[in-house]
Amino acid sequence: MSACCGPSRDGAAAAATHRQPVGITTRRVAPRGMVRIPGGTFLMGGTDPDGRPEDGEGPVREVRVDPFMIDPACVTNAQFATFVKETGYVTEAETIGWSFVFRQFVTGGVMDATVPGAPWWAGVEGATWRSPEGPGSSIGDRQNHPVVHVSWNDATAYATWAGKRLPTEAEWEMAARGGLEQKRYPWGDELAPSGRPRCNIWQGRFPTAPSRGTMPVKSFQPNGYGLYNVSGNVWEWTADWWGTTWEPYADNPAGPAEGTARVIRGGSYMCHDSYCNRYRVAARTANTPDSSTGHTGFRCAAIV
């Protein structure tokens, strides 16, 4: 697990009391508007020359997936606000009292928390989905941006309430590929075809160049299945534990111990090929289920 991609609470110097969130009951059946993925077999994983074998990106193998439904975009701040209004749900970042924010965005409340190897992260008191940069910030003009500062537990609670679930890692990758076979990105092998960016990743020198942060969930063109922003913008939680889907790497010392972290996919607005090119469709990393950051969100799946 790379700290630059997904800093975890157990890697921070600041300690906090953890209280498990209250359970949520299902609100309704999965609504319309989801994309149907036909299922079948596909080649999962990758062997890119600049890939990361230590992350368990390979070996490439044929995987069969049953038909399923998936959201075309990540859950937005507006959608999450509806969930909170109807249920009174309190996220783990709110319960614990802090979350990880990219230092360039911090508005206040910095804690004495450091992330080894990733000094651009700060633990910030009061950073939540409502106040993504800390005290004084808001989502007023970001209703259609992906909700962030949500843990895996929070994402699962939302999905349950919505009559959905989180996608498995295999489902996520199959959907993200958009029907293409073994391409580096959801649209092909070239990062910016004809010089046109196709995803929200870091522009300029990292980490000093100004960052625009998240963008609306339906920015850029969708892939062949109609999914938006499966590369860049925000990392996305999946249902799977790290180490359970890539068995040859289950005991990989470069990653978290099996059964301690959930897989996240897709990369974020902070990814850059100078240090983290995990916006490739085969790329993967993980984070602990109670961790939350300003660049991690989720989309939901459901049975057909």
Q: What is the pLDDT of residue 29?
A: 63
- Averaged over 163-188, what is the pLDDT? 97
- Residue 136 belongs to a domain: no
Token couple for 60: 């490439």
Q: Total structural domains in the chain? A: 1
Q: What is the pLDDT of residue 284?
A: 93
Residue 276, phi then psi, degrees to nearest 5: -155, 95
Q: What is the pLDDT of residue 43?
A: 97
pLDDT > 90 fraction of the chain, expressed in percent and rounded: 63
Those residues whose C-beta lies under 8 Å from the C-beta of residue 51, and which sit 6 or more positions away, are 57, 58, 280, 282, 283
- Residue 94 belongs to a domain: no
Whether 127 and 93 have beta carbons less than 8 Å apart is answered as yes
Name the region of 188 (left: φ>0; alpha: ψ -120 to 50; beta: rest).
Answer: left
Whether 302 and 165 have beta carbons less than 8 Å apart is answered as yes
- Res. 219: pLDDT tops 80: yes
CATH number at residue 213: 3.90.1580.10
DSSP label of 205: S
Tokens 């929070």 belong to which residue?
Answer: 154
- Averaged over 131-138, what is the pLDDT? 94
DSSP label of 181: S
Q: What is the pLDDT of residue 170?
A: 96
Ranges of beta strands (E only) in the chain are: 35-37, 40-44, 61-65, 68-70, 98-102, 121-125, 235-241, 262-265, 285-287, 296-297, 301-303
- Res. 205: pLDDT tops 70: yes
Those residues whose C-beta lies under 8 Å from the C-beta of residue 10, and which sit 6 or more positions away, are 288
Strand 296-297's sheet: what is its strand order?
Answer: 285-287, 262-265, 235-241, 296-297
Tokens 């010089």 belong to which residue?
Answer: 195
**28-61 per-position pLDDT tens digit:** 566 689 999 999 999 999 988 887 777 889 889 9
**CA 37, CA 150: separation in Å to the nearest integer?**
26
**CA 202, CA 215: separation in Å to the nearest integer?**
12
**224-261 per-position pLDDT tens digit:** 999 999 999 999 999 999 875 544 444 454 555 567 89
Neighbours of 259 (CB within 10 A): 11
Token couple for 80: 């999450």
**6-23 per-position pLDDT tens digit:** 677 764 444 343 344 445
Could you tell me the pTM of the whole model? 0.89
Residue closest to 158 by CA, chosen among 28, 294, 291: 28
- Res. 116: pLDDT tops 90: no
Domain of 234, in residue numbers: 33-87+144-304
**CA 267, CA 278: separation in Å to the nearest integer?**
5
- Residue 15 belongs to a domain: no
- Residue 161 belongs to a domain: yes
Those residues whose C-beta lies under 8 Å from the C-beta of residue 66, and which sit 6 or more positions away, are 39, 304
Average per-residue pLDDT for the chain? 86
Label residue 63 by pLDDT band (50, 70, 90). Answer: very high
- Residue 107 belongs to a domain: no
Residue closest to 24 by CA, chosen among 74, 81, 91, 99: 91
- Taken as a whole, the chain contains a residue count of 304
